[in-house]
Amino acid sequence: FDDPDGRNVFVGKGKAKKGKKGPGEKGKGAGKGPGRMNGHHQENGMENVMLFEVVRLGKSAMQSVVDDWIESYKHDRDVALLDLINFFIQCSGCKGGVTGEMFHNMQNSEIIRKMTEEFDEDSGDYPLTMAGPQWKKFKSSFCEFIGVLVRQCQYSIIYDEYMMDTVISLLTGLSDSQVRAFRHTSTLAAMKLMTALVNVALNLSINMDNTQRQYEAERNKIIGKRANDRLELLLQKRKELQENQDEIENMMNAIFKGVFVHRYRDAIAEIRAICIEEIGVWMKMYSDAFLNDSYLKYVGWTMHDKQGEVRLKCLTALQGLYYNRELNARLELFTSRFKDRIVSMTLDKEYDVAVQAIKLLTLVLHSSDEVLTAEDCESVYHLVYSAHRPVAVAAGEFLFKKLFSHRDPEDDSMPKRRGRQSVNANLIKTTVFFFLESELHEHAAYLVDSMWDCAAEILKDWECMISLLLDEPLPGEEALTDRQETALIEIMLCTIRQAAECHPPVGRGTGKRVLTAKEKKTQLDDRMRMTELFAIALPALLAKYSVDAEKVTNLLQLPQFFDLEIYTTGRLEKHLDSLLRQIREIVEKHTDTDVLEACSKTYHALCNEEFTIFNRVDIARSQLLDEQVDKFNRLLEDFLQEGEDPDEDDAYQVLSTLKRITAFTILCDLLLIFSHQIISGGREALEPLVYTPEASLQSELLNFILDHVFIDQDEDSNSTDGQQDDEAGKIEALHKRRNLLAAYTDCVSKRLLISVCLLDLMLVLSLFSQRHMYLERFMTFQMALQREDCWLPLISYRNSLQAGGDDDTMSVVSGISSRGSSVRSKKAKPATGKRKLPEEESSSSSEVWMSREQSMQTPVMMPSPHLTSTVMREPKHLRPEESYMGTPQPQHHQTAIDYNRRGTGLMEDDEEPIVEDVMMSSEGRIEDLNEGMDFDTMDIDLVISLC
Averages of pLDDT over runs of 10 residues in the chain (947 residues) are: 37 36 36 37 40 71 85 90 89 82 83 80 76 80 91 90 91 91 94 96 93 86 78 89 93 95 95 96 94 94 95 96 88 92 95 96 86 92 94 95 69 60 88 90 90 93 94 86 95 95 84 84 94 95 94 95 92 93 93 91 90 91 90 82 70 85 74 73 72 78 78 53 57 74 67 50 52 46 48 52 43 33 36 38 35 35 31 35 37 36 36 34 35 35 34
Greatest C-alpha distance within the chain:
141
Q: Which positions ≥6 away from 523 have C-beta within 8 Å?
A: 499, 500, 502, 515
Helices (H), 607-641: 614-641
- For 502-572, where are the alpha helices, taking DSSP H only? 517-544, 549-555, 566-569
HEC string of 807-831 equals CCCECCCCCCECCCCCCCCCCCCCC
**Could you give the CA distance from residue 692 to residue 754 in angstroms, rounded to a whole number?**
9
SS3 of residue 878 by DSSP: coil
Identity of the amino acid at 105: N
Per-residue confidence (pLDDT) for residue 689, from 0 to 100:
73
CB atoms within 10 A of CB 559: 23
Angle between helices 293-302 and 308-322 (to 10 degrees): 140
Cα 288 from Cα 625, distance rounded (Å) = 80
Q: What is the DSSP letter of 481?
A: P
C-alpha 523/C-alpha 734 separation (Å) is: 34
User: Rounded to an integer, what distance in angstroms lies between the CA atom of residue 592 and that of residue 126?
Assistant: 69
CB 872 within 8 A of CB 784: no
Number of other residues whose CB lies within 10 A of the CB of residue 8: 12
Using DSSP bridges, classify how beta strands 870-871 and 848-849 pair: parallel, antiparallel or unpaired: antiparallel
Residue 768, pLDDT score: 52
What is the chain's percent helix, strand, coil content, to nearest 5?
65, 0, 35
* The predicted structure's pLDDT at residue 895: 35
DSSP at 162:
S
In angstroms, the first-to-last Cα distance of the chain is 42
Q: Residue 790 CB: number of other CB atoms within 10 A?
A: 16
pLDDT attached to residue 941: 37
**Are 479 and 473 a contacting pair, CB within 8 Å?**
yes
Q: Which is nearest to 243 in space by CA: 214, 271, 207?
A: 207
Residue 377 identity (one-letter amino acid): C
SS3 768: helix
Determine the 3-state secondary structure of 775 from DSSP: helix
Per-domain residue ranges of the chain: 424-649
Q: Could you say which DSSP state residue 837 is in? A: P
DSSP annotation of 128: T
The angle formed by the CA atoms of residues 427, 428 and 429, to the nearest 5 degrees, is 90
Residues 6+ apart with CB under 8 A from 705: 740, 741, 744, 764
H helix intervals, 808-944: 880-885, 914-921, 923-931
What length does the chain have? Answer: 947
**pLDDT score, position 92:** 87
DSSP assignment, residue 30? G
| pTM passes above 0.85 | no
- pLDDT on residue 121: 59
Query: Rounded distance, CA 463 to CA 530, Å?
Result: 9
Q: CB-based burial of residue 352 (10 Å sphere; 0-12 exposed, 13-18 middle, 19+ buried)? A: middle
**How far apart are alpha carbons 618 and 773 in whole angstroms?**
35
pLDDT digits (tens, 9 = 90+) for 582-592: 999 999 999 89
Find, among 863, 838, 840, 871, the residue nearest to 922 by Cα.
Answer: 863
Residue 795 class from Cβ within 10 Å (0-12 exposed, 13-18 middle, 19+ buried)?
A: buried
Alpha helices in 414-516 (DSSP H): 424-438, 444-459, 462-470, 482-501
Query: Which amino acid is residue 401, in one-letter code?
Result: K
DSSP type of residue 510? S
Q: How far apart are CA 225 and CA 229, in angstroms?
A: 12
Q: Are strands 46-47 and 870-871 parallel, antiparallel or unpaired?
A: unpaired
Instruction: Say how far apart CA 374 and CA 804 lie, in whole Å.
Output: 77
Give the per-residue pLDDT at 919: 33
